[in-house]
Structure 1
């Protein structure tokens, strides 16, 4: 069973996607809703999208992983299927303190999907495994 975001977030992302498809832009009321739900993370996530910092890495087996080049220059791995990010803010603010439901990197992944600005990279299953193992080795 897939993990889902709270209904209000799912609905907002869905409405944003429809607006982008219709007019190639996100109306201001949706941007205000994002800011209300996610605070400063919304602005930071939109900045990551504007800078085209999100890459979808897909393998022939259907595995999909997102890499986000953060504002600090470090690359974080996001799994949209289970709403996970490898950044310290996700571990602290989302998992430990429950202050937020997403970090800016994961929100940027969802926004890049909505805005259809995500870069794509196809790799072999072994290459994807190597990417994930390399990420694990770099963690402190």
Structure 2
């Protein structure tokens, strides 16, 4: 099973690694050590932090009847961040600074945790109405302002 990352433009080596990890999880119910080492090599300490978020089941996929999807990640600080996997975005300050501004990271730990939760199929799911999803997005935007 390939991980669906529509619209995301991650380097092909990352997409390939995530696909291999998904296939391994489907076959063996775990991620092989060699993939974990590759993950650590590519993402550094963010990989360990992202895996910790996955282990703690901190990722929730919120979906609405219209097909809109947003991931909510409870960060290690206790703050909740919104991630849009379809366009490779996280609302955390690390994403804005390290990924967008400095361009020295591919992903923040929250977005990586979203992709890893897809790979491991451990993402919690919450179905809400379209209005509720709009309210979640709008409330988050007001908090950031």
TM over 0.5, shorter chain = yes
Equivalent residue for 1:33? 38
SS at match of 2:107: coil
**1 CA distance for matches of 2:91 and 2:116?**
18
Equivalent residue for 1:79? 84
CA-to-aligned-CA distance 1:32-62 (integer Å, 9 cap, x gap): 0000000000000000000000000000000
**1 CA distance for matches of 2:110 and 2:7?**
20
**1 CA distance for matches of 2:68 and 2:94?**
25
TM-score computed with the length of structure 1 as normaliser: 0.98
Q: Given that residues 71 and 85 in structure 2 are in contact (C-alpha distance below 8 angstroms), is that contact kept between their aligned partners in structure 1?
A: yes
Unpaired runs of 5+ residues, structure 1, are none
Equivalent residue for 2:95? 90
1:2 deviation in Å? 1.8
State whether structure 2 residue 111 is matched by structure 1 residue 106.
yes
1:5 deviation in Å? 1.1
For the aligned residue pairs, the C-alpha RMSD in angstroms reads 0.9
Q: Given that residues 8 and 85 in structure 2 are in contact (C-alpha distance below 8 angstroms), is that contact kept between their aligned partners in structure 1?
A: no
Unpaired runs of 5+ residues, structure 2, are 1-5
Q: Given that residues 57 and 123 in structure 2 are in contact (C-alpha distance below 8 angstroms), is that contact kept between their aligned partners in structure 1?
A: yes
Runs of 4+ in 1 over 6 A off after TM superposition: none
Equivalent residue for 2:23? 18
